[in-house]
Structure 1
Amino acid sequence: MPPRLSDLQERSIAHSTARINIWSGAVRSGKTISSLLRWLMYVAQAPRGGALVVSGKTLDTVGRNILGPLQDPALFGDVAQHVHYTRGASTATILGRQIEVITANDARAEGRLRGLTAAGAYVDELTLLPEAFFAQLLARLSVPGAKLFGTTNPDGPSHWVRKKFILRAGELDLRHWHFTLDDNPALDPAYVASLKQEYVGLWYRRFIKGEWCLAEGAVFDAWDEARHVVDALPPIEQWIAAGVDYGTTNPFAALMLGLGADGRLYLTREYRYDSKLNRRSLTDVEYSARLRTWLDGGGHARPQYVVVDPSAASFRVQLHQDGVTSTLGDNEVLPGIRTVASLLATDRLRVHRSCAGWIEEVPGYSWDDEKAEKEGIDAPIKTADHSLDGGRYAIHTTRSMWRYRLAEPVLLAA
């Protein structure tokens, strides 16, 4: 049986009759299910003579967030059998209509819309799309009665989606609905409580309360050296990963990640080489030899993964030649920062005092206020972050391994 809907969800479905219709707000707040229901209704009666489009950042996200849910009978009942899509394909079929699947992963994506005449579009995660792509998509919605339906989590208050569209709803043919986590009646209360514990600070305001708020100040504002730095490690049940941030002129840093018997993650030790301090750059061969010596020098087995900076292609080749299989680091910076910030704020990540580079860098790791205010972009200031990046690669890339093995979160006092 499809999930019951809240009053806000029902109103958003009934009144999303504008040319542009946007659902924004918290994660898991019900905005996606209501917007997808509205999209199905639109496809069933969409004007002929133009293409129907679904779009997102990548084919994976389109499949995961749009077409996959539409094929789920638990969500959409018997209608799901009329949605046909093979993951990775460029077209789908919904209620007998062909749907063009067009992704927008970079600035060049706008060219994929050239020559298209569209009668309707559904867009996943608007804030992640290039502005030029969205502008071109709107221009292509030229069939009389064409409509766009889009969802997004909130971003900074200067983001173009908010400034140029949501705030101008009164001037444009646009309707907008704002959702918080508490607007989804289908969620288990225990899950809601857990989610509210896991998100902190900036992320709580955006992903729980659905606010478009500025990223400012310290990135890891929950960091407390007195609490998070330890002189002795508990028994380590699993050596998960070594995270490597590669540098030649910049420092080279590697951090070891283990899962403690107390249900916490620990950065247990660090290797760091700064060519400027040592007045000599090392080659890939030398870095590989030193990293292998470090991996074997901790008195424990090598970790399950060696996660390497994705930009370090030549170094990964050298490691492979030297018998070390490496994993490409997940370098989605904001999701990685969010993972680390949440672990610190819920007291599920601690750092051994020997990780001197990480401990030195973390207090000064700050958001770039100028980019946030002028460009609407959330980004940390790119300086003195090499050990932080190494730790982030190890932690965020392996999250599927440790996510369900940690202790219950403990919210730290502000």
Structure 2
Amino acid sequence: MKDLDKIYTKKQQEIYRRCVNDDWFMLINHGAKRSGKTVLDNDLFLQELIRVREIASDLNIDRPMYILSGATLGTIQNNILNELTNKYGITFSFDKHNNFTLFGVYVIQAGHSTISHLDKIRGMTAFGAYINEGSLANEEVFDEIKSRCSGEGARIVVDTNPDHPEHWLLKDYIENEDDSIIDFSFQLDDNTFLSERYIRNIKASTPSGMFYDRNIKGMWVSGDGVVYADFNKDIHFINREEAGQLNLSSYFAGVDWGYQHYGSIIVIGTDGNGNYYMIEEHAKQHEEIDYWVEVAKGIKSRYGNINFYCDTARPEHVMRFRKERIRALNADKSVLSGIEEVARLIKNQRFFVVYDIAHRFREEIYKYIWDEKSGEPKKENDDVLDSIRYAIYTHLKYKIIKGKKR
């Protein structure tokens, strides 16, 4: 038991014993980020491959197949294979189909986030599956993976962060009273290997509301009330005089196309301390692309040839910007991930807005609210806020790709 204490938390040991001693068809470990669920599931994946090989040998099957699934092949590599290589020194040799053999089991790698991933697994007989990031799976693909697991003794391990409370994975599987499905919920505090300092800091910096409930407490919840609940007018607004004293070192812009609803271009400046300042806002209705070209040219004349992170909904507008020698880049429009990044900056008091120029922002910031049914914000009062999200989230992603620290 002392040896297990060195590798697994009490929570992980509880689940490990259940998996070894009981028969089950599906195990779902769900909950907070960094809570230890994926570490355990990666080890269970290896044990399942060994078990499958033993079953196949008894059945005289030379090449049993197993499904390893994630949102994309990239996430499988990052969340599972790289971790196993670093931990155990396992070397994976991929064939031309991006599959590999381990412990005598042929492992089929398959994405699950879109319906197009069905082709990779349709028609096969699998002796089990490991599904990473289960809540991101297309429901039809998830069901197909389950159906393919018809080999003798097949079992499915599912690893996931929580989503909204009406999600099919929660309703149809986790809350299902079928005895063949077992599930365990994780909170951040379950990971006793994390330092007290890390836990204290991550709790303090996680945005309030839905993100805290999901990422720290591991709860399947929707947002409630305003999206940016930590925004405080007494902290996050600055005046023109304060803005004039800033020592900003770089600039970038965000663009949300509009006509009936507001179109928006905002400019954000950064200092050397990791702070972000919205220093210009241009928001208008019923304007054609010529108007926005002139706005962008004016911004370029003031700040240089900066990046404009653009809404991809109007590719012809992006192309027009490029023809006008405006550095227009397609923004990453991931809604919840982008909102979380902006909300984290707000929570950490690293995002500020020049009050005097933020006419539309002041209208939107307290009216931008969650839709409790969908788990995402309502598509209202979001034009300037979308352009901010596009700009900050895409900018931060580019910085990470370049290996820079935030």
TM-score range, shorter chain: 0.7 to 0.9
1:292 matched to 2:289? The reply is no
5+ residue gaps, structure 1, are 276-280, 407-414
5+ residue gaps, structure 2, are none
Q: Residue type matched to 2:67 in 1?
A: V
Matches within 5 A, 1:90-105: 90-105=98-113
Q: Secondary structure at the match of 1:27?
A: coil
2:218 maps to what in 1? Answer: 210
Matches within 5 A, 1:84-163: 84-85=93-94, 90-163=98-171
2:259 maps to what in 1? Answer: 248
Aligned alpha-carbon RMSD (Å) = 2.4
Q: CA deviation at 1:55?
A: 0.8
CA contact (8 A) 2:305 2:327 kept: no
**More displaced 10-residue stretch of structure 1: 25-34 or 194-203:** 194-203
Q: Secondary structure at the match of 1:339?
A: helix
2:178 maps to what in 1? Answer: 171
Q: CA deviation at 1:90?
A: 3.0
| Structure 1 pair 194–157 and aligned structure 2 pair: CA distance change class (3 A) | same
Q: Secondary structure at the match of 1:23?
A: strand
Matches within 5 A, 1:390-405: 390-400=387-397, 401=399
| Structure 1 pair 20–405 and aligned structure 2 pair: CA distance change class (3 A) | closer
Determine the C-alpha separation between the residues in 1 that align with 2:97 and 2:271: 42
1:223 matched to 2:220? The reply is no
Determine the C-alpha separation between the residues in 2 that align with 1:89 and 1:256: 45
Q: Secondary structure at the match of 1:360?
A: helix
1:411 maps to what in 2? Answer: none
Matches within 5 A, 1:53-68: 53-68=67-82
Q: Residue type matched to 1:206 in 2?
A: R
| Structure 1 pair 311–236 and aligned structure 2 pair: CA distance change class (3 A) | farther
Equivalenced residue count is 384
CA contact (8 A) 1:5 1:185 kept: no
Which residue of the other structure, out of 10, 30, 45, is the alignment partner of 1:7? 10
**More displaced 10-residue stretch of structure 1: 103-112 or 22-31:** 103-112
Determine the C-alpha separation between the residues in 2 that align with 1:227 and 1:288: 33
Q: CA deviation at 1:338?
A: 1.0
Determine the C-alpha separation between the residues in 2 that align with 1:107 and 1:384: 32
1:236 maps to what in 2? Answer: 247
CA contact (8 A) 1:218 1:367 kept: yes
Determine the C-alpha separation between the residues in 2 that align with 1:269 and 1:358: 11
Please give the per-residue CA displacement for 1:161-205, whole angstroms capped at 9, x wherever unaligned.
Answer: 11111112x424011111111222333332222211221321111
Q: CA deviation at 1:108?
A: 4.3
| Structure 1 pair 71–181 and aligned structure 2 pair: CA distance change class (3 A) | same
Q: Residue type matched to 1:42 in 2?
A: E
Matches within 5 A, 1:175-190: 175-190=182-197
TM-score (norm 2): 0.87
Please give the per-residue CA displacement for 1:14-52, whole angstroms capped at 9, x wherever unaligned.
Answer: 322411011111101110010010100111221435421
1:368 matched to 2:368? The reply is no
TM-score (norm 1): 0.86
1:382 matched to 2:379? The reply is yes
Matches within 5 A, 1:26-41: 26-41=32-47
Percent identity over the alignment is 26
**More displaced 10-residue stretch of structure 1: 108-117 or 52-61:** 108-117
Q: CA deviation at 1:250?
A: 2.9
Determine the C-alpha separation between the residues in 2 that align with 1:404 and 1:28: 22
Which residue of the other structure, out of 324, 327, 332, is the alignment partner of 1:325? 327
Q: Residue type matched to 2:361 in 1?
A: W
Determine the C-alpha separation between the residues in 2 that align with 1:139 and 1:114: 9
Q: CA deviation at 1:135?
A: 1.4
Determine the C-alpha separation between the residues in 1 that align with 2:282 and 2:97: 44
| Structure 1 pair 404–348 and aligned structure 2 pair: CA distance change class (3 A) | farther
Please give the per-residue CA displacement for 1:112-161, whole angstroms capped at 9, x wherever unaligned.
Answer: 43212111111111111122211121111111200100111111222111
Q: Secondary structure at the match of 1:144?
A: coil
Determine the C-alpha separation between the residues in 1 that align with 2:140 and 2:288: 42
1:19 maps to what in 2? Answer: 25
Q: Secondary structure at the match of 1:8?
A: helix
CA contact (8 A) 2:126 2:154 kept: yes
**More displaced 10-residue stretch of structure 1: 146-155 or 181-190:** 181-190
Q: Secondary structure at the match of 2:249?
A: strand
| Structure 1 pair 328–211 and aligned structure 2 pair: CA distance change class (3 A) | same
CA contact (8 A) 1:243 1:255 kept: yes
CA contact (8 A) 1:239 1:301 kept: no
Q: Secondary structure at the match of 1:236?
A: coil
Q: CA deviation at 1:388?
A: 0.5
Determine the C-alpha separation between the residues in 2 that align with 1:20 and 1:210: 20
